[in-house]
Each structure stands twice: as structure tokens, then as C-alpha cells.
């Protein structure tokens, strides 16, 4: 369970997050949606202790992020950042292997190597394993980063716009992988999405943010109504139903 | 592939060492060999400390163009030295032992670096601003050192010479032991941390995500860098581009930035260039003092190339 209590964040006097309180249970997919600048990435980076907390508390499975050793947290929670491009000559396999670091501390066991190969295959980068990252296309690089995050094998995954640069095939494949992970292994994904229909189809819960506040929180059926969507995104859009799931015609 | 190339570098390093010890031997063999062995030890220390400090520094700053000396660390060390001479006077400075002097100089340098450089490195300034600040800090503290010397009498000035080029011929013999201890300890620590360094190289956020205690690790690494820079600067004076040349060459030859490979490769390349170069210049060509200039020239060209290539991608 992830517990977020009274979380606020300000930057040079400008509030970025205001008084966020959330409880995220174990198992399932939580989609974080909202317009640009709503504070989604800021929230994820506070949960993942990438930035120091200013006020409030974040607790992962009874472990407060501010006082728990980093390695302990890294075995429970992995984060994929929105701008996760690294410098340096690194092959895809080397990058993905680093995902095992919290477990192996660099001395990888045969199990670690098997997990790496599995992740490479799962996200279709096995053929690119020996290529240097800087020689990949944007989507290929994103898949390598996703593979690394999965490879960390944590109960909680925080994914900031993981569908960036992915084609439809790989976007669907990633969402299906997350669904399987949540259903079969009781793991949890918190995923920032701009494609609201991916959230509608795959998420168990949608949390919508605007101006640093949570403005809607519930199942896709609850949140994806014309009124709520207008409140979140600032314009009205039609919503229909297909196969029992809402479909938002946001582009019309 | 990596292993074969590392072995090749090791062989070349051994050849350089052998050449340095044996080329143009003349006179009392035992005596000359002993002198050369002491000098060899110092050169190897300089080579290893420059190579390791550069690679560590590039890893912590996630930047392949920065080096400790470009950021002015050696100028800080030399300023510490000048300050010590100024405070104690030439005779007082000459009177205290090499180890104490070194310790005091290192302390001054680390205090200055903690105040001036650490905030810069953690503030994630963009590259050109960082470079500019580094060059400015270097210039400022070099001028300050000069000023301190001007305020002293000429006798005191003669006690310490802050050359603007490295001089691989005039080594400070009183530091051989403490230098060896620091260099060896730092090398052992680097090897121990080699896997963690691979994670650190991903940058602050990614490293934290993988469980690195960033502020502690970065502080530790910068401390090691400062110590290594102090060793090499104390022994031969400031080397502006040698580290950059060595790190870039090692990465080019091995084609990886994995530290288990890159760290030994950089150290070996540095030994080959420094010891092999000195063997050729001193024992074959008879012009010992030219090596510093040649190495800095090649390093400067490497720096420009990296800047040029980097700016295009
Ligand atoms: N380092 C920073 N300094 C100042 N302001 C910042 C900083 N980082 C983020 N902000 C501001 O905080 C607000 C929230 O940013 P955040 O990146 O969390 O938004 P987001 O919801 O992830 O947006 P997007 O959909 O564009 O990724 C924005 O208004 C942004 O300008
Ligand atoms: Mg964002």
C-alpha cells in the first residue's frame, strides 16, 4: 500500500502540489491523468523520493520514504521518468541489467541474468541488446527503459508517460503486460497517461489532477463523464461506451 | 573483446615501464636504477591518480568533457599551498614535514572546493556555464596564488614554484610514500565501487531510483577526486588536459563506460603515455622537460575535438 498524506510542494513560492491525500492499495493499475503542468510528474518524483519532501508524508508498505534506506525502497518500487534519457556509451543489455542492481549490487546471479533476458524479450529489444542506446530510435529507447524498469522486479511501478514514442502495437502490448502483472502477480502500477482511452480500457482507478490538486478519483466509469472531463481538461467532450468501457472522443 | 584489449594495454604499460628503467643506462647501474625506480613510482602515482580522478569526476557530473582541472581543483590546491607559505613564511613552510604540509594543503583545498564547487555541481547548471565558472575559478585562484607570492619576499617565492605547466622531471620526493598510500587506497575504493559507479553514471534521479544514497555517494566520490588531484598536483604541478585525454582514449579503445573496464583501462593508458613518454623524451631524446608540453598539447586537441563533436550531436 502507498500512503500519501498532506503532501504539498512549492517552487520559489509557486505552489506545485497542494495538500494531496491518497491511499493506493496493492494490486491494480492506477492511471494519473491531467493537463500539462498539473503536477503529475512532481507527485511521482516525490513518491519515488527523487526530490526531498517539503511537507507531508509518503509511506510505502509501512516504510516512510524519507527515512528508509534507498536500497530497501529500490527493491519495492521502480520509477520510469518522463525524461529518462541517459548519456554515456551503454548497450541496451547493460542498461537493462542495471535494473537488477538493487538486488545484485552488480554481482549478478544466473537468476538476475535470466530476468534481464526475459525483460529484453518481453519488450522486443532482444535483437537490439548489443546496440548502444544513442543509436536507437526514440521508441526503441523508450522500450529499453521500460524493460529496465520491469527488470527491477518491484511490487510497485511508477511510470511517467511510458507510452511516449511508442507505436500502437507496443503501447497496447505494454498496457497488456501491466494488466497481466496486476492480475496475476498482485503488483501495482501507477502510470501517467495522456491517452485517456488507454486509461479507460486498462486502469482500475483514475486519479485526475489539475493545478496541483486531485480533482477526481474513481473508476473509469465514474471519472470519464463529460462533466468531470470538462472540469479536468477545460473543454467538453463526448463519451460513448464500447465493450462495456467508456470511450472518450477527445479529439473532436 | 574487452579482456583482450585490456591485456594489450597492460603489456604496453609493462613495456613502457621496462623502457623507462633500462633505456640509455650508463654509469653506476645500481645507483641509476634506484633513482629511476623512485621516479617511476612517482610517475605511476601521477598517472593513476589523474586517470582515476578524471573518470570519477566525469561519472559524478555525468559529463565527458569536464575534468577536475578544468573545474579548477588543482588551482585550489596550489592556492592552499601558497596560503600556507604566506601564513608560515618561507622558512616555516620549509621546516614542517612533507606529510603535514600535504595534509594542510589538502584540507584548505577541500574546504574551498566544498564551498565553491559543490553547490555548482549539484545545481545542475548547463554545461557551458559550468565550464565558464570552472575556468573563472581556476584563473581567480591562480592569480590569487600569484598575488600571495608577490606579497612575499623572493626567497619565499623560491620555496614553492607554481608552474603553469606540469613538470614531470622535477618530482617532490618527500611525498612518495603518502602519495602511494592515497593513490593505492583510492584505487582499491574505486574497484570496490565499480558497479555502483555504473549506476551513478546514469545521473542523480536514475541512481536514486536504483537505491543509491546520492548525496553521500557523490560527496564521497568528490572527496576521493580532491585527494587524487592533490596527489598529482603536489607531485608534478597542474595537468590541465592529461586526464581528459586519458579518459577519452580509454573509452575510445575499449568502447564502453563500464567502470570495471574503463577504470583499469584509463589507468593503463595514463601509465603508457606518462612513463613511456618520459622514457622516450628523457632517456632517448635527452629533453626531459618537453613531455609535459607535448601531453598538454595532445590533451588540448582532444578537448577541442570533444567539444566540437559534442556540440554537433
Ligand atoms: N524545477 C522546477 N522549477 C520550477 N517549476 C517547476 C519545476 N518542475 C516543475 N515545475 C512546475 O511545476 C508544475 C508541475 O510540473 P509537472 O512536471 O509535475 O507537471 P506534469 O503534470 O507532469 O505535466 P506534463 O503533462 O507536461 O508532463 C508545472 O507548472 C511546472 O512548470
Ligand atoms: Mg510530466
Regions of chain A with pLDDT less than 50:
none
For the domain that residue A36 is a member of, what is the CATH number?
3.40.50.300
Complex prediction ipTM: 0.91
Number of other residues whose CB lies within 10 A of the CB of residue A222 = 13
Dihedral angle sign, alpha carbons of residues A41, A46, A50, A55: positive
For residue A158, the CA-to-ligand 1 centroid distance in Å is 17
Residue of the nearest CA to atom 9 in ligand 1?
Answer: A42
* Phi-psi label, residue A234: left if phi above 0, alpha if psi -120 to 50, beta otherwise: left
Pairing of the two strands A205-210 and A28-33: parallel
Residue B94 has pLDDT above 90, yes or no: no
Percentage of chain B exceeding pLDDT 70: 87
Q: Residue B248 and residue B54: Cα distance in Å, rounded?
A: 10
Quickly list DSSP for A126-138.
GGGTTSBGGGS-H
Taking the alpha carbons at both ends of chain B, their separation in whole angstroms is 27
Instruction: Specify the DSSP element, H or E, that contains A73.
Output: helix A70-74
SS3 content of chain A, % helix, strand, coil (to 5): 35, 30, 35
Please, what are the domains in chain B?
A: 2-312 (1.10.3470.10)
**Coil, strand, or helix at residue A41?**
helix
Question: Nearest by CB to B209, which of A48, A107, A134?
Answer: A48
Of A50, A86, A152, the CB nearest to B202: A86
Q: Which residues surround ligand 2, an ion (CB under 5 A)?
A: A 41, 82
Residue A55: give the domain boundaries: 2-249
List C-alpha distances in Å: A30 to A33, A38, A191, A192: 10, 17, 6, 9
- Of the pLDDT bands very low, low, confident and very high (cuts 50, 70, 90), residue B122 is low
The protein residue with its alpha carbon nearest to ligand 1, atom 12, reads A16
Determine the pLDDT at residue B163: 46
Q: Burial level of A204, CB count in 10 A (0-12/13-18/19+)?
A: middle
Number of structural domains chain A divides into = 1
For ligand 1, atom 13, the nearest C-alpha belongs to A37
The tens digit of pLDDT for each residue in B179-192 reads 888 899 999 999 99
CA-to-CA dists, residue B233 to A108, A214, B84, angstroms: 38, 56, 15
Classify A6 as helix, strand or coil: strand
Q: For position A106, what pLDDT does the model report?
A: 85
CB contact under 8 A, B195 and A74: no
The DSSP letter of residue A133 is G
- Mean pLDDT of the B96-120 span: 79
Strands A63-64 and A55-60: antiparallel
DSSP letters along B187-218, please? HHHHHHTHHHHHHHTT-HHHHHHTT--HHHHH
Q: Is A76 on the interface with B (CB under 8 A)?
A: no
Mean pLDDT of chain B: 82
Q: Taking CB atoms and an 8 Å cutoff, what residues of chain B touch A86?
A: 62, 201-203, 206
- Give the position of cell 557551458: B128
The torsion defined by the Cα of A169, A171, A245 and A222, in degrees rounded to 10, comes to -170
pLDDT band at B237 (very low <50, low <70, confident <90, very high): confident
Instruction: Give the pLDDT confidence of A159-206 residue by residue, as tens digits.
Output: 999 999 999 999 999 999 999 999 999 999 999 999 999 999 999 999
* Residue B71 confidence (pLDDT): 81
Amino acid at each position: 500500500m502507498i500512503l500519501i498524506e498532506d503532501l504539498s510542494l512549492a517552487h520559489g513560492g509557486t505552489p506545485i502540489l497542494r495538500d494531496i491525500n491518497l491511499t493506493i492499495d496493492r494490486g491494480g493499475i492506477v492511471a494519473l491523468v491531467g493537463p500539462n503542468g498539473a503536477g503529475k510528474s512532481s507527485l511521482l518524483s516525490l513518491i519515488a523520493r527523487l526530490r526531498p519532501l517539503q511537507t507531508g508524508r509518503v509511506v510505502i508498505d509501512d516504510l516512510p520514504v524519507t527515512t528508509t534506506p534507498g536500497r530497501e525502497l529500490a527493491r519495492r518500487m521502480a520509477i520510469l521518468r518522463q525524461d529518462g534519457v541517459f548519456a554515456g556509451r551503454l548497450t541496451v543489455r547493460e542498461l537493462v541489467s542495471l535494473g537488477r542492481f538493487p538486488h545484485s549490487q552488480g554481482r549478478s546471479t544466473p537468476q538476475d541474468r535470466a530476468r534481464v533476458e526475459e525483460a529484453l524479450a518481453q519488450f522486443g529489444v532482444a535483437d537490439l541488446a548489443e546496440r548502444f542506446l544513442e543509436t536507437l530510435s526514440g521508441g526503441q529507447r523508450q522500450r529499453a527503459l521500460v524493460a529496465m524498469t520491469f527488470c527491477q522486479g518491484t511490487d510497485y511501478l511508477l511510470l511517467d508517460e511510458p507510452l511516449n514514442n511508442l507505436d500502437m502495437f507496443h503501447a497496447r502490448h505494454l498496457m497488456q503486460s501491466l494488466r497481466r502483472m496486476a492480475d496475476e502477480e498482485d503488483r501495482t502500477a501507477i502510470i501517467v497517461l495522456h491517452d485517456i482511452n488507454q486509461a479507460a480500457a486498462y486502469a482500475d482507478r483514475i486519479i485526475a489532477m489539475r493545478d496541483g490538486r486531485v480533482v477526481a478519483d474513481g473508476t473509469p466509469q465514474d471519472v470519464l463523464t463529460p462533466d468531470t472531463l470538462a472540469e479536468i481538461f477545460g473543454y467538453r467532450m463526448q463519451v460513448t461506451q464500447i465493450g462495456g468501457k467508456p470511450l472518450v472522443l477527445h479529439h473532436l | 573483446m574487452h579482456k583482450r584489449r585490456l591485456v594489450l594495454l597492460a603489456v604496453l604499460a609493462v613495456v613502457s615501464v621496462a623502457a623507462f628503467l633500462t633505456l640509455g643506462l650508463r654509469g653506476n647501474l645500481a645507483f641509476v636504477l634506484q633513482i629511476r625506480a623512485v621516479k617511476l613510482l612517482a610517475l605511476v602515482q601521477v598517472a593513476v591518480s589523474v586517470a582515476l580522478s578524471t573518470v570519477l569526476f566525469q561519472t559524478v557530473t555525468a559529463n565527458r568533457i569536464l575534468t577536475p582541472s578544468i573545474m579548477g581543483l588543482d588551482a585550489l590546491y596550489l592556492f592552499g599551498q601558497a596560503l600556507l607559505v604566506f601564513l608560515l613564511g618561507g622558512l616555516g613552510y620549509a621546516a614542517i614535514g612533507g606529510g603535514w604540509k600535504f595534509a594542510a594543503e589538502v584540507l584548505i583545498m577541500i574546504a574551498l572546493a566544498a564551498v565553491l564547487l559543490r553547490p555548482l555541481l549539484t545545481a545542475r547548471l548547463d554545461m557551458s556555464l559550468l565550464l565558464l565558472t570552472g575556468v573563472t575559478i581556476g584563473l581567480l585562484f591562480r592569480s590569487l596564488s600569484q598575488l600571495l607570492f608577490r606579497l612575499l619576499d623572493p626567497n619565499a617565492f623560491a620555496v614553492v614554484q607554481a608552474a603553469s605547466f606540469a613538470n614531470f622531471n622535477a618530482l617532490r620526493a618527500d611525498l612518495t610514500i603518502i602519495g602511494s598510500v592515497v593513490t593505492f587506497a583510492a584505487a582499491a575504493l574505486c574497484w570496490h565501487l565499480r558497479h555502483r559507479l555504473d549506476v551513478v553514471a546514469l545521473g542523480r534521479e536514475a541512481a536514486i531510483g536504483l537505491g543509491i544514497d546520492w548525496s553521500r555517494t557523490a560527496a564521497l566520490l568528490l572527496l576521493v577526486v580532491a585527494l587524487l588531484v592533490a596527489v598529482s598536483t603536489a607531485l608534478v604541478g597542474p595537468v590541465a588536459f592529461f586526464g581528459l585525454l586519458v579518459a577519452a582514449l580509454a573509452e575510445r579503445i575499449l568502447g564502453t563506460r563500464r567502470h570495471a573496464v574503463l577504470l583499469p583501462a584509463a589507468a593503463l593508458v595514463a601509465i603508457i603515455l606518462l612513463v613511456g613518454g618520459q622514457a622516450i623524451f628523457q632517456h632517448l631524446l635527452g629533453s626531459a622537460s618537453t613531455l609535459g608540453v607535448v601531453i598538454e598539447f595532445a590533451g588540448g586537441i582532444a578537448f577541442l575535438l570533444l567539444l566540437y563533436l559534442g556540440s554537433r550531436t
